Each structure stands twice: as C-alpha cells, then as structure tokens.
Amino acid sequence: MTIRLCVRTLSLSVLLYASASSAFAAPADDLLKLHQVRLAAQKTLGDFYMYNGMEGDQRYARMIEASLQQADTQLKAIGEMPGDSSQALRGQLDSQWQAYESELQGLVSTLKSDGFTDLQPIADLAARNQQLLELSTELYKKIQQEGAVQVPPLTQQSREQSVLMQTIAVDYASRSASVGGSFYGSAEGATPIEELVKTFSEKLNSMEKAPQNTAQINQALENIGTKWRYIEKSLQNYNEKSVPFLVNKYSDRIIEGLEAVSAQYSVAQL
C-alpha cells in the first residue's frame, strides 16, 4: 500500500510539473510564432517591391505566396491568449492580417494581368503592413505581461536584429522599385535607412562580444558578419548604385543565420 501511494504521489507530481512546464512553454512558443509572423509579413512587402521592380519576375511572386502561407500558418498556430488585453489585440491582428493578405493578393493579381499598378494602392498596402507590424509588436509585449513570461535578453536581441534586417531590406527594395522618382516606401517620420544600417552594425558588434556565446554561436555570428559587410556599403550608398537582387538575397541569408542563433540562445535561456 505504501509503495502504491508513493507511486501515485510521484505520478501526480510529474503531471503537475509537466502541466506547469507546458503552461510556461505555451506563451514562449506563441511569442516565437508571433515573431515569425512579423518577419514573414515584412518579407511579403519586400518581395512585392522586388516583384514590381523586377518587372513581374515570377520567382518573387512565388516568394510572396510562400511568405503569406508561412505568416498565415504561424498566426493560426498561436494558442489561447493569457489575458483580456492580449485576446483583444489578437482579434485586431487577425482582422488586420486578413485585410492585408487580400490587398496584397489583389495587387499581385493586377501586376500579373496588367503589368503595372497605381502608386496609391501600393502606398495603402505599405501603410497596412506598418499597422500590422505595430499590432504584432504590441501583442508580443502584452503576451509577456499577461503570460508572466520574459524572453531572455540575447534571444530577444537576436530576434530584434532579424526584424531590423528585414526592415532595412524592405526599405531598400522599396527605393529600388520606386517609379518616376516617387518613393512609396517608409512611412512619414520613419528612421532613415542609413541610420538603420548603423544601428544594425552596432548591435551585431554587441552580439559578437557577448561573453555567453558558445564557439558555435561565435562561428555563426562571424558568418553573418561576413554577409553583412558584403552588402553594408551598398545599403549606405543606396542612391549611387542600386543592387536590389543582391540585398534581397543576402538579407534573407542573414535573417536565416540570426534565427538559428536565436534558437540556440533560446534553448540555453540566454
């Protein structure tokens, strides 16, 4: 009888621990999914600019569709919100995403059929994308508040670097795709691209110096730094010689590298 009671007590303890671990992991997993939603949503806009600027190159149409699918899948995979405020924000985000997805698909369809589109719908799409990103950022913060979970510092820093790289890539693609001197990219009051580039360099340098880095992480950051330096001057001198294909390609690789580093930080709770 005593042995059975001990076994039952142990089993109950394991279940309670697993339940507590699951409860903690759920907001953390949702935060990662939300971060991936933001990256994919940003990428759809950058790839749309590339599609427009590269005169309907179908590879970018496929990239847009892939990123739309990724964002939609991750958004739908996010679980129950930890509180009323996050639940309300989640509802707003869902609505905003559906409207953005519809507008983007409509513009892609117009470009495919007509070969061009008016500037105003593109400006409206960029504004919708900005609203989407602001909502997702607000929800990201609110989940941490209401879910009593905090993203570890280096994990968060690496995620912010990914978002910053994507922002720079979108800005650059927008400038490269602008028609007739009309620039329909950054919102009014947005940080100039040269300042974004400087910030990215400084933060990457900070990450490389983190004492918690393992040899594997240091190697990954070194590879990221090599790719970054390859496009850094082009980003700084965006008015002199436009190389959108190169920037698009390397920014994707840099983000891929940063996300791998972020995953390693997350596992180590750094």
Does residue 160 fall inside a structural domain? yes
Residue 61 carries which side chain, given as an amino acid letter? Answer: A
The boundaries of the domain holding residue 263 are 151-270
Domain count, the chain: 2
Supply the pLDDT for residue 122.
Answer: 93
Examine the fold and report which residue of 150, 184, 218 is the final residue of a domain before the chain moves on. Answer: 150
203 in Cβ contact with 261 (< 8 Å): no
> Given a cut of 80, is residue 188 above it in pLDDT?
no
Residue 156 or residue 113, greater confidence? 156
* CB of 143 closer than 8 Å to CB of 82: yes
Which of 22, 27, 24, 29 lies closest to 142 in space, CA to CA? 27
Contact between 71 and 129 (Cβ < 8 Å): no
Residues 134 and 211 in one domain: no
Residues 155, 127, single domain; the answer is no
Question: ∠99-100-104 over CA atoms, to 5°?
Answer: 120
The separation between the first and the last C-alpha atoms of the chain, rounded to the nearest angstrom, is 45
Rg (CA), the chain: 21
4 in a structural domain:
no
Q: Does one domain contain both 172 and 266?
A: yes
Q: Is the pLDDT of residue 80 over 80?
A: yes
103 and 167 co-located in one domain: no
In a domain, 127, yes or no: yes
Whether residue 237 sits in one domain with residue 161: yes
In the DSSP assignment, the letter for residue 237 is: T
d(CA 164, CA 247): 14
pLDDT at 7: 42
CATH of the domain at 242: 1.20.120
Among 105, 123, 150, give the residue marking a domain's end: 150
Question: Which amino acid is located at 211 in the chain?
Answer: P
Domain end (from 117, 150, 183): 150
DSSP 238-257: TTT---HHHHHHHHHHHHHH
Q: Is residue 14 part of a domain?
A: no
What are the pLDDT digits (tens) for 217-255? Answer: 999 999 999 999 999 999 998 888 889 999 999 999 999
Give the three-state DSSP class for 1: coil
Determine, yes or no, domain membership for 62: yes
User: Cα separation of 103 and 166, whole Å?
Assistant: 21
φ/ψ of 191, rounded to 5, equals: -65, 130
Kindly list the distances between the CA atom of residue 33 and the CA atoms of 38, 69, 149, 229, in Å, as whole numbers in the listed order: 9, 13, 15, 29
The angle formed by the CA atoms of residues 154, 156 and 157, to the nearest 5 degrees, is 60
Indicate the pTM of the whole model: 0.88
Q: Are residues 33 and 139 in the same domain?
A: yes
The pLDDT-based confidence of 26 (bands split at 50, 70, 90) is confident
Q: Are residues 48 and 156 in the same domain?
A: no
Determine, yes or no, domain membership for 209: yes
The answer on pLDDT for 25 being more than 80 is no
Q: Examine the domain organization and report whether 145 and 25 are in the same domain.
A: yes
The answer to whether position 9 is within a domain reads: no
102 confidence band (pLDDT: 50, 70, 90): very high
Q: Are 156 and 268 contained in the same domain?
A: yes
User: Alpha helix (H) ranges present in the chain?
Assistant: 2-53, 58-77, 84-114, 119-146, 153-177, 193-208, 215-236, 244-267
